[in-house]
């Protein structure tokens, strides 16, 4: 029952998602215990190294330049600023730093070189380094790998069908292509999605079909609950209930048995009891720090108190895979190729995204 399968169907996944809650919890927890230590939870710190001003139109994102959300944009942080934050994160129990930049895609040049130095700097602190920088080419993924990157995050967000209702500026295949480029290196893949964007249960199952058919499956999968931000196209969406979150986590655990399932955005809306149920259902990673890019997150001390209460221990770095070697920039065997991803969906428009953009223009 806990073997890794790449041929899950939507119907099978829906049957799991809709099981009576006690059966679902029992089945997920049983698989979780076979594959993972149930009392160990990996702690990541998410750092926004470049905030706001993004050219994409993701309907959930306050960092899209076209919406008016009050997010203040920042230039790329310096390498020293990032290293200082990473040290603080390590002191607070994080084994991984995930650096997020509000970019459509990575562009070769001084800013990417600076990010590569950040990767080198954090890997040398003996922490796992993850980046989420938008689309990457194979060459860029190789350069990140060479710098010592441990993981690359690129979420599928939802099912292929519902993705078209949320983002018009790129397609599902663009996402899969970036994941494929990362897979050509020794960097692990982190990919998941968001629930509560107005999708239906079939879409949630559809996203899990897409993630589970990846071979290998992602090493980590964040499950986010939408934090609806004023000014975004999804500002009116109601928060998902804890029961939906537990069902999604448990189903993910069953379908992706070896993956680290991460409780991500939306934890401030969850009680400790709710989070404990998610850990029981197979979640074994969280994001720590008082902000998740731009939205609120529980205080790290609160998280550590919760760990103590539940008898959970933070996972040590490089428990699942050995630490990558860092190659210095001067010894790199890769040259910047200056490639640009094509704009694949120039004609696609989403009504609510257009409305939020028009409203954003008026406010600005
Ligand atoms: S989610 Fe990422 S790509 Fe989409 S608008 Fe926000 S920063 Fe840009």
Q: Is 153 helix (H, G, I), strand (E, B) or coil?
A: strand
Residue 155 φ/ψ region, left for φ over 0, alpha for ψ in the -120 to 50 degree band, beta for the rest? beta
Nearest CA owner, ligand 1 atom 7: 102
Active site residue 54: yes
The active-site residue out of 98, 143, 247, 253 is 98
| Tokens encoding 71 | 């997010």
CA-based end-to-end distance of the chain: 54
Closest atom of ligand 1 to CA, residue 55: 8
Is 131 known to be catalytic?
no
Substitution candidate for ligand 1 out of 46, 48, 57, 58 with most atoms within 8 A of CB: 58
Cα 290 to Cα 46, 265, 297, 336, 356, distances in angstroms: 10, 11, 5, 36, 27
Residue 118 contacts residue 79 (beta carbons within 8 Å)? yes
Contact between 94 and 125 under an 8 Å Cβ cutoff? The reply is no
Cα distances from 263 to residues 53, 159, 220, in angstroms, run 26, 19, 11
236: CA distance to ligand 1 center in Å? 19
The Å distance, Cα 277 to ligand 1 centre, comes to 30
Residue of 66, 96, 120, 130 marked catalytic: 130
pLDDT of residue 50: 93
Position 301 scores a pLDDT of 83
How far is Cα 288 from Cα 68, in angstroms, rounded to an integer? 27
**Averaged pLDDT score across all residues of the chain:** 93
C-alpha span between 345 and 169 (Å, rounded): 6
Q: Is 61 a catalytic residue?
A: yes
Question: 212-251: b or e for each residue (b if 16 or more CB lie within 10 Å)?
Answer: bebeebbbbbbbbbbbbbebbbbbebeebebebbbbbbbb
Residue 253 pLDDT exceeds 70: yes
Distance of alpha carbon 364 from alpha carbon 359, whole angstroms? 9
Nearest CA to ligand 1 atom 4: 58
In ligand 1, the atom with minimum distance to the C-alpha of 104 is 3
Please identify which of the residues 96, 170, 183, 190 carries the catalytic annotation: 190
Report CA torsion sign: 292, 294, 296, 301: positive
How far away, in angstroms, is 166 Cα from ligand 1 center?
11
Mutate to test the pocket of ligand 1, among 48, 50, 54, 345 (most ligand atoms within 8 A of CB): 54
Range picked from 65-74, 108-117, 259-268, 351-360 for highest mean pLDDT:
108-117
Among 59, 63, 170, name the best residue to mutate to test ligand 1's pocket (greatest count of ligand atoms within 8 A of Cβ): 63
Query: pLDDT tens-digit profile of 148-172?
Result: 999 999 999 999 999 999 999 989 9
Pocket of ligand 1 (CB under 6 A): 54, 56, 58, 61, 63-64, 102, 104, 134
pLDDT at 137 over 80: yes
Residue 262 annotated among the catalytic residues of the structure: yes
Residue 58 is a catalytic residue: yes
User: If you average pLDDT over residues 327-344, what whole number do you get?
Assistant: 88
Mean pLDDT, residues 196-215: 97
331 vs 28: CA distance, rounded Å: 46
131, 262, 267, 278: which is the annotated catalytic residue?
A: 262
Q: What is the pLDDT of residue 53?
A: 87
**C-alpha of residue 148 to centroid of ligand 1, in Å:** 24
- Catalytic choice (19, 54, 120, 267): 54
d(CA 224, CA 191): 11
Please state, for a pLDDT cut of 70, what percent of the chain lies above it: 97
Which of 300, 317, 320 lies closest to 308, judged by CA? Answer: 300
The predicted pLDDT at position 315 comes to: 95
| Amino acid 291: pLDDT | 66
Query: Whole-angstrom Cα distance, residue 144 to residue 150?
Result: 9
Asked whether 102 and 50 are in contact (CB, 8 A), the reply is: yes
Radius of gyration over every alpha carbon of the chain, rounded to an integer in angstroms = 19
Supply 31's token pair: 């698989």
Better-predicted residue by pLDDT, 118 or 295: 118
160 is written with which tokens? 């292929």
CA of 13 to the centre of ligand 1 (A): 28
How many Å lie between the centroid of ligand 1 and the Cα of residue 82?
21
Residue 344 has pLDDT above 90, yes or no: no
Q: What is the pLDDT of residue 346?
A: 65
Phi, psi of 350 (to 5 degrees): -120, 125
The Cα–Cα gap between 221 and 303 comes to: 20
Q: Among residues 95, 71, 114, 103, which one has the least CA distance to residue 292? A: 71
Report the separation in Å between the CA atom of 254 and the middle of ligand 1, taken as the mean of its atom positions.
Answer: 29
Q: Does residue 307 have a cis peptide bond before it, meaning omega lies within 30 degrees of 0?
A: no
Nearest CA among 321, 349, 353, 345 for reference residue 151: 321
The model's confidence at residue 125, banded by pLDDT at 50, 70 and 90, is very high
CA distance linking residue 132 with residue 155, whole number of Å: 9
pLDDT tens-digit map of 44-91: 999 999 999 888 899 999 989 888 888 877 899 999 999 999 999 999
Q: Would you say 297 and 47 are in contact if contact means Cβ atoms under 8 Å apart?
A: no
Angle between helix 272-280 and helix 300-310 axes, rounded to 10 deg = 60
């Amino acid at each position: 029952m806990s073997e890794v399968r790449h041929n899950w169907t939507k119907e099978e996944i829906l049957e799991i998602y809709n099981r009576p809650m006690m059966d679902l919890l029992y089945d997920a927890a049983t698989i979780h215990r076979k594959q993972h230590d149930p009392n160990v939870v990996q702690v990541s710190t998410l750092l926004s190294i470049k905030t706001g001003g993004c050219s994409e139109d993701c309907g959930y994102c306050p960092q899209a330049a076209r919406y008016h959300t009050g997010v203040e944009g920042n230039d790329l942080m310096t390498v020293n600023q990032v290293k200082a934050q990473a040290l603080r994160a390590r002191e607070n129990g994080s084994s991984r730093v995930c650096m997020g930049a509000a970019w459509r895609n990575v562009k070769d040049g001084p800013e990417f070189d600076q990010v590569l130095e950040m990767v080198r700097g954090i890997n040398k602190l003996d922490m796992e380094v993850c980046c989420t920088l938008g689309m990457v080419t194979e060459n860029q993924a190789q350069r990140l790998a060479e710098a010592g990157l441990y993981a690359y995050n690129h979420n599928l967000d939802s099912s292929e069908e519902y993705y078209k209702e949320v983002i018009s500026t790129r397609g599902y295949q663009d996402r899969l292509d970036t994941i494929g480029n990362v897979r050509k290196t020794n960097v692990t893949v982190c990919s998941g999605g968001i629930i509560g964007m107005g999708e239906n249960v079939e879409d949630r199952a559809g996203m899990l079909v897409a993630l589970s058919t990846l071979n290998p499956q992602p090493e980590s999968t964040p499950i986010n609950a939408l934090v609806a931000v004023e000014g975004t196209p999804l500002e009116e969406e109601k928060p998902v209930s804890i029961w939906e979150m537990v069902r999604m986590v448990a189903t993910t655990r069953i379908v992706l048995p070896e993956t680290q399932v991460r409780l991500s955005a939306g934890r401030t809306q969850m009680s400790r009891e709710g989070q404990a149920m998610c850990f029981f259902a197979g979640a074994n990673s969280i994001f720590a720090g008082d902000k998740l890019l731009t939205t609120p997150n529980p205080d790290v001390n609160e998280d550590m108190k919760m760990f103590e209460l539940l008898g959970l221990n933070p996972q040590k770095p490089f428990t699942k895979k050995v630490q990558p070697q860092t190659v210095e920039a001067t010894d790199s065997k890769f040259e910047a190729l200056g490639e640009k991803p094509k704009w694949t969906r120039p004609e696609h428009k989403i009504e609510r995204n257009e409305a939020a953009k028009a409203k954003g223009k008026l406010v600005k």
